Amino acid sequence: MTREIVINAAPFETRVALLEKQRLIEIFIERARDRGVAGNIYKGRVTRVLPGMQAAFVDIGLEKAAFLHASDLDADLGDEFVSEEGTTPIEVDKTADADKTPSRRIPIEERLKKGQELIVQVAKQPIGTKGARITAVPSLPGRHLVLMPSSNHIGVSRRIDDEAERLRLKEIVRAERPSDCGFIIRTACEGLTKREVQGDIRFLTKLWKRTQGKAETVGAPALLHYDMDLVLRTVRDLFTADTQRLVVDNRRDYQRILEFVETVMPRMKNRIEFYEEPEPIFDRLGIETQITKALERKVWLKSGGYIVIDQTEALTVVDVNTGRYVGKKSQEETILKTNLEAVRTLVEQLRLRNLGGLIVIDFIDMETSAHQREVFESLKDALRKDKARSRLLPISDLGLIEMTRKRTRESLAQLLCTPCASCDSKGHVKSTSTVAYEVLRRIHREAALNPKLAVVTAHVHPTVAQFLQHHEDRTLGAMEAQLAKKVVIKATESLVETQFEVTGVEAAA
């Protein structure tokens, strides 16, 4: 399968698209104003201990206190590990010991006291009204390995299925690692030389020692380790052997990627490309259109059927409909084909929109139990390809399937949209910042495609104009210098907040 990574990097926002056969599978967005904190390591101070919830709140210096559950106080490592590429910290599969854990766990109130300081790592971004979720079992992911300072165990990704290779890699790590640290051998480690594996061990060990050293010299709350930005995290976690190419449109980031790859995976260097055409890369590859469609409620199926996705505060509801599709045989066959097609599209949309938590799917009613089993097994099989952990319940008597999907970051709609003020917050529209960054990209596009322009003017809603002038004034100045054109932002009352118009004026002859 043709797999590509496309990076659109601007001073105000970085967007990473993961494509399979030119279709958008995942989108990652990081804005300079609010960079994510997942993966960061902090020295925190306990502010509250809640025995009834077996949890504590910890001040790590963010706006809201972070949440620490008792289960995240200990490393409880089994023999095998699930490598969740692109997620930090790496999640450990604890199912083998799950039945023993409660009996030996000491209550949180006997282990933590108000005012106590401890080293923690952000496992989940703050989402909505909730603060970050943290763990007291930090991990440091490298390209090939993950350092686990709270364990002395060596685990291997389940995706490395050759037993001889698993043993070889374990022996290399066992011989080189410090006695007080454990390691997870990631999928990317397969086939590496002894020297390459040893290099990752030394790099991660030094990084952890620096983190420990800083912890000894600062008071809580304090940031001890800042995870890589989105560009380098993408290369570290997603740029794997099955990726045909990585394309980036920013010269500085292109050089950074080359230097990083030269150090950790030089054999992949020839797959990196710099895009320098005037047309924006997300427009050229049709990614911009696919992002817009991923914010719509209705998703059409190739057959003419469709699914409707509604995201509420409590859960996500998916409704499957035959739509224009009438089939060629019986009604039951039409329903089965629509439901099976909906399964593939649904799983793609869960991943693309990054939908998590409780999800209820209302498939079209099927009369025969054989058809119900076929749809259920198809959904189970499709979810195996999704890196986010999920749990699936059988079809209920009402024809519904309930499932959960691990939530690690904001959904695409939460990231790009805001509740609609015109409909009592029942719907969503693009947020002010999302519209503002679309305006900046459009200005850049018009200027790049029309070199003769001397002035580029953006007519925007006053709220968007205020956002750009107050929060992105430096970006506007840098853009004028880069494009060698004057950029004008005009507040226009007649436009709604999501509308804008960009025009240009050529230099006088």
In the predicted model, what is the mean pLDDT of residues 65-72?
Answer: 94
Give the single-character DSSP code of 426.
S
Q: Where are the alpha helices (DSSP H) in 59-125?
A: 101-104
Tell me: do 96 and 216 sit in the same domain: yes
Among 11-15, 80-84, 202-206, 232-236, where is mean pLDDT lowest? 80-84
Tell me: do 191 and 337 sit in the same domain: no
**pLDDT tens-digit map of 493-509:** 999 999 999 999 887 75
Q: What is the dihedral of CA 234, 235, 237, 238, to 10 degrees?
A: 80
Q: What distance in Å separates the CA atoms of residue 387 and residue 92, rounded to the nearest whole number?
A: 13
Give the single-character DSSP code of 72.
G
CATH number at residue 307: 3.40.630
pTM for this model (two decimals): 0.79
Spatial CB neighbours of 146, under 8 Å, sequence gap ≥ 6:
89, 90, 139, 140, 183, 184, 186, 204
Give the single-character DSSP code of 493.
T
Tell me: do 49 and 195 sit in the same domain: yes
pLDDT of residue 326: 62
Is 425 among the domain residues? no
Q: Where are the alpha helices (DSSP H) in 177-310?
A: 194-215, 230-238, 251-264, 281-284, 287-293
- 141 is written with which tokens? 């992911």
Is 422 among the domain residues? no
Judge whether residue 97 has pLDDT over 50: no
* DSSP reduced 3-state for 500: strand
Give the single-character DSSP code of 70.
G
Choose between 201 and 98: higher pLDDT. Answer: 201
| Strand bridging mode 80-81 / 154-157 | parallel
Is 418 among the domain residues? no
**pLDDT tens-digit map of 296-331:** 999 999 888 899 999 887 899 999 998 776 656 678
Tell me: do 113 and 21 sit in the same domain: no
% the chain with pLDDT above 90: 60
Choose between 89 and 381: higher pLDDT. Answer: 381
Give yes or no for a contact between 371 and 332, defined as CB atoms under 8 angstroms apart: yes
Spatial CB neighbours of 463, under 8 Å, sequence gap ≥ 6:
432, 497
Judge whether residue 182 has pLDDT over 80: yes
- On average, the pLDDT of the chain sits at 87
% the chain with pLDDT above 70: 92
In the predicted model, what is the mean pLDDT of residues 405-415?
Answer: 84
Tell me: do 301 and 391 sit in the same domain: yes
pLDDT of residue 328: 63
Give yes or no for a contact between 90 and 184, defined as CB atoms under 8 angstroms apart: yes
Is 406 among the domain residues? yes
Tell me: do 57 and 28 sit in the same domain: no
CATH number at residue 70: 2.40.50.140
Q: How far is CA 105 from CA 47, 134, 225, in A?
A: 22, 18, 29
CATH number at residue 274: 3.30.420.60
Is 426 among the domain residues? no
Q: Which of 133, 115, 131 is nearest to 123 (CA)?
A: 133
- 44 is written with which tokens? 């925190």
Tell me: do 272 and 298 sit in the same domain: no
Is 164 among the domain residues? yes
Tell me: do 155 and 196 sit in the same domain: yes
Tell me: do 53 and 158 sit in the same domain: yes
**pLDDT tens-digit map of 103-161:** 467 899 999 999 999 999 999 888 777 899 999 999 999 888 999 998 889 999 888 88
pLDDT of residue 87: 39
The number of folded domains in the chain is 4
Tell me: do 252 and 110 sit in the same domain: no
Q: How far is CA 507 from CA 456, 476, 501, in A?
A: 11, 20, 20
pLDDT of residue 273: 96
Tell me: do 154 and 102 sit in the same domain: yes
Judge whether residue 429 has pLDDT over 70: yes
| Strand bridging mode 145-148 / 80-81 | unpaired
What is the residue range of 172's domain?
41-228
pLDDT of residue 122: 94
- In the listed set 412, 439, 456, which residue is the last one of a domain according to the structure? 412
Is 349 among the domain residues? yes
Judge whether residue 94 has pLDDT over 70: no
Q: Which amino acid makes up residue 277?
A: E
Tell me: do 345 and 395 sit in the same domain: yes
Choose between 178 and 57: higher pLDDT. Answer: 57
Judge whether residue 81 has pLDDT over 60: no
- My answer on whether omega of the bond before 221 falls inside 30° of 0, hence cis, is yes
Q: Which of 284, 287, 283, 261 is nearest to 272 (CA)?
A: 261
Q: How confident is the model at residue 424 (pLDDT cuts 50, 70, 90)?
A: low
**pLDDT tens-digit map of 467-495:** 999 999 999 999 999 889 999 999 999 99
- In the listed set 228, 246, 267, which residue is the last one of a domain according to the structure? 228
Vertex 500: Cα angle to 231 and 419 (nearest 5):
70
pLDDT of residue 84: 39
Is 129 among the domain residues? yes
